[in-house]
Copies of this chain bind each other. A is one copy, B any other.
């Protein structure tokens, strides 16, 4: 595996430098960029493995840039935001980012997320990313991301809680790829402070609850399988419609 090349996008010079410097110390190639144009120049020219994008490029611009980049490119994106409220926005308004992290963040946590996203996207390199994706189908089930609706093979509407939905989304984005509890927690954790996961079994219980809703036999799951000692996997193929 080559050294990852990460594009640090922030219009604030201090923040930009701080981030690139830190990342370089961690042994990755970090390239600074201040504007969307610079980003596109880098993308057109070099091999960029990941984009670290600050949300606060003027209120909503970061989000727009994110979805715009996502429309054209397959490069994974991690959004950085200062305000916890932005996280709510991002989770509700699907921009297509692969992960979010709140400022101020623990450097180690940032690294972990970067690693997680990179390994996730490298393993599923050929996988077309979400972008404007709207409908997922797996094992007869249907999940409409826009309407946030789940239909059983029989066509019955099944109500999932917010958390259950988020878990399903995380799994659908990584079919056949085992996700560790940490990765799942990171995907779920909209609030940024993911340390809350250290103690509990929240993920396990959540998985159990999702199984009870989408598995015919929750005791012997066919869709959401356990990876003992590691985490869980979505064990079915997934097709994505962009309708």
Interface residue count on the A side (C-beta < 8 Å): 39
* Complex A-B, nearest 3 residue pairs according to Cβ-Cβ distance, in ascending order: A92-B178, A58-B122, A88-B230
Partner of A74, one of B2, B12, B177: B12
Set of chain B residues within 8 Å of A12, measured between Cβ atoms: 74
Are A180 and B85 also in contact (CB < 8 A) when A47-B59, A227-B92 are? yes
B47 touches A121 (CB 8 A): no
A60 touches B178 (CB 8 A): no
Partner of A177, one of B83, B89, B123, B225: B89
Are A92 and B233 also in contact (CB < 8 A) when A2-B59, A59-B2 are? yes
Are A124 and B60 also in contact (CB < 8 A) when A93-B178, A235-B148 are? yes
Cα distance, A133 to B103, chains bound together (Å)? 37
Q: Which chain A residues in 11-28 approach chain B with CB under 8 Å?
A: 12
Cα distance, A177 to B89, chains bound together (Å)? 6
**Copies of this chain present:** 2
Indicate whether A162 reaches chain B with its CB closer than 8 angstroms.
Answer: yes
B58 touches A88 (CB 8 A): no
Cα distance, A227 to B88, chains bound together (Å)? 8
A58 touches B227 (CB 8 A): no
Cα distance, A158 to B147, chains bound together (Å)? 24
Are A58 and B121 also in contact (CB < 8 A) when A46-B83, A177-B92 are? yes
Partner of A147, one of B58, B121, B177, B222: B222
Indicate whether A201 reaches chain B with its CB closer than 8 angstroms.
Answer: no
Cα distance, A214 to B59, chains bound together (Å)? 31
In the complex, 26 of the A-B residue pairs with CB atoms within 8 angstroms, ordered by the A residue number, are A12-B74, A45-B85, A46-B85, A47-B59, A47-B85, A47-B86, A49-B59, A58-B121, A58-B122, A59-B123, A59-B124, A88-B178, A88-B180, A88-B227, A88-B231, A89-B177, A89-B178, A92-B176, A92-B177, A92-B178, A93-B176, A93-B177, A147-B235, A148-B225, A159-B220, A162-B228
